Chains A and B, each alone.
Chain A
């Protein structure tokens, strides 16, 4: 089998292969939201003076409004180092990125929507390799290798680990794919107030796009930063302190935050009985919604709508991937299904590493 790095070398780019290393061991997964901006004001209409709200039970015969569930995933590997000017060594990062959407049918069964499930293989080179050279590499690889690859460039920055930069570039590619799929779904008019899409993770896309297409999209985070603060002044409190007071079926009020000029409403919901959890934050999820309409941006998100979404999220708590996933208490099963579908669709580590 033709090795991809040997193809790169034949094009005159000196590349020192190394044993491929999987870079996906997340040592501090719970701090993934560390870059988010602190939330300050309550962002709920009508304004609430109570920090926690108890959600009324949903009648069992009301169909859920949560219809689509999207998960993005990636696997990254350091496969070698490219030598620039015979002096500088920069890592080459390979990855598999994918996005999967599952739909809940009218019979409540979950199945993947193949139209919106995409996987691609990527290779991230430092920007010290010119775009023209990368274009040549891409053409050669796709002609001679049995597996197609898309080549990416990461920008080398001083004081930053180039491996992190390469992985971040691949992550960014995954986010682009997520945005593209949401836009496609919106264009197909699949999303509505009765057919909401739940995205795994926070709504922190550092790209510009039409927010209207994200009107019926919510983000669900299983993990969040416990020291992250909400409110301001004397009312400032850490998420850890607030959520530890939440009882089963209670949510916090909505707080306002923003990302790249996009206004986001964010709240926390406890979906498991706290007395049965081993840690205070277990069983709490963070939910986010974009404020799309001018009135929403002005006065905050509609409290009834937030209650409604929260109640349906609470319904999603069963069944659980208990013992299969360490984050089971804050996981909802459809997202777990999308994640499982995606991960089982990736090439195995052994196969992928053997390509280089």
Chain B
């Protein structure tokens, strides 16, 4: 890595240097880009570090017309002998001074590339006590510097929750979340359990198996982050139950050989919902139904009183309430009829069944039991909800969240809250569970608001991802102390208020980010955003059946 000078600070009457910003001209042959970090000499033999935000090429031309005139009044073929005086001016944000001097930089100060140690100090990484590797930055002069999150701000207690936004199809959002979770397991595994929801494909359904095609370049990228290029350990998979004996009694689209291995080694279970435990969770099944008069809510209060030992029996009892001329508390028959229609439709799924005492091949386990058994520090639980329709995904997701939250509060009998450690939950398509504008009455959104607003102190941490931040509830996003920005569209940049205060060049960068590149915002960083790269996955990604 070179540390040669690349330019000089320029302070003018109209564009002075300030405590927080500096401009410098760049040597003709130097290549600089936004997010590069440079250092400039300052008072008392100190150095100030700054992150480049924008670049402009200026000439002494007074206007476009001057350039037109300089081409022999519009002769396209004219070849001017003289090159016009011009230079590139970089605008940079001051990050740090080695002697904590906050005076503006002086005109003419030499600017050079920052060294790796300087970059870490400038970003505030040198003071992190519990680092969680989060990727690396690569500057234009070839410097590669590992970037860490501070565990205290990622997993609590100082700050918590992470959100990742970016368009689909670049294999970036999920890959980054899983890389970060792997990093959490390697660095904070003794203190954190991880729950991952698989919402599409089969990519996350063999995360404990090494990738047979892992090459040296990917290994080197992991090692650059200070991590072993190893898959997750202590993983258990929960698949949706189905009456499919040939498919291990699951709806999952995972590869059959992968499933065979997981079931035979006791790492996989099929979750289901029996009527007794599910009737209290039915509000989650109808999270997406508008209930302006709160009639559904009134019905939900009645449901636990119904005695039923099977789903058929339960549905029969509901059907009884739809007959004309009856009155059940404050709920009108019309409301019961609507509820009956919805219930019949939404519980016509193999997931709603009773436990089989005689057939262990079904590998049935309720979400509650699975969490009681496996939720402990160091453990990873993958919940496959990909084959389920949206409303069932909300039910399962909400059930997991409620169970964890209840366990943390000591409301779950079989789980000792003190033994749980931190629980990190990763959910893609967060906009589905906590959509923007959904206020009170929506059970699942309410649960997520609870988690993001109070989970930090309890140790329930949400890693959420979605395509568009503008589609997610503001309070859920607002409670995330760490935010990750992947490539997004110009429309989203204009639509979401979160991008409003980014410098224009950063907005432009976000719209053009290549695969494997992200912008990070974390409370410990001394700047709003940094651009990082991260390693490709090192676990096996099944193709799906």
Contact = CB atoms under 8 A, between A and B. Distances in A.
Given A320-B69, A321-B66, A323-B66, A110 B81 contact: no
A109 B80 CA distance: 12
Given A321-B60, A324-B62, A315 B69 contact: no
B85 interface: yes
Interface string B58-91: 0011110111011111000011111111000000
A158 interface: no
B37 to A, nearest CB: 30
A108 B62 contact: no
B462 to A, nearest CB: 57
A155 interface: no
B72 A318 contact: yes
A276 B73 contact: yes
A297 B423 CA distance: 98
A195 to B, nearest CB: 16
Interface of A: 60, 64, 108-110, 273, 276, 315-324, 328, 332-334, 337, 340
Contacts of B84: 319, 333
B83 A322 contact: no
A322 B82 contact: no
A334 B84 CA distance: 10
A8 B377 CA distance: 84
Contact of A318 (B60, B63, B65, B80): B80
B259 to A, nearest CB: 67
A318 B81 contact: yes
Contacts of A319: 61, 66-67, 70, 80, 82-84
A108 B79 CA distance: 12
Contacts of B65: 322-323
15 contacts: A64-B81, A108-B82, A108-B83, A316-B82, A318-B82, A319-B67, A319-B80, A319-B84, A320-B66, A321-B60, A321-B66, A323-B62, A323-B66, A324-B61, A333-B84
Contact of B70 (A276, A315, A320): A320
A323 B70 CA distance: 11
B16 to A, nearest CB: 15
A64 B81 CA distance: 9
A322 B63 CA distance: 8
A151 B72 CA distance: 47
B65 to A, nearest CB: 7
A315 B78 CA distance: 10
Contacts of A109: 83
Contacts of B81: 64, 108, 315-316, 318
B60 A322 contact: no
The 7 closest A-B pairs by CB, nearest first: A323-B62, A318-B80, A319-B70, A322-B66, A333-B82, A322-B69, A324-B62
Given A110-B82, A319-B84, A321-B60, 8 more contacts: A108-B81, A110-B83, A316-B81, A319-B83, A323-B62, A324-B60, A337-B85, A340-B60
Contacts of B73: 273, 276
Nearest to A66: B81
A324 B66 contact: yes
Identify which of A315, A316, A322 gathers the most chain B CB atoms within 10 Å of its CB.
A322
B66 A318 contact: no
B70 A322 contact: yes
A337 B70 CA distance: 15
Given A273-B73, A318-B71, A323 B63 contact: yes
Identify which of B61, B66, B81 gathers the most chain A CB atoms within 10 Å of its CB.
B81
Nearest to B69: A322
Interface string B131-163: 000000000000000000000000000000000
Contacts of A337: 85
Contacts of A273: 73
Contact of A340 (B62, B67, B78, B85): B85
B82 A334 contact: yes
Interface in B273-331: none
Contact of A60 (B62, B70, B79, B82): B79
Nearest to B71: A318
Contacts of B67: 319
B85 A318 contact: no
B72 to A, nearest CB: 6
Contacts of B79: 60
A273 B78 CA distance: 14
Nearest to B72: A318
A60 B81 CA distance: 9
B542 to A, nearest CB: 58
A140 B517 CA distance: 64
Nearest to A337: B85
Contacts of A323: 62-63, 65-66
Contacts of B82: 108, 110, 316, 318-319, 332-334
A66 B71 CA distance: 20
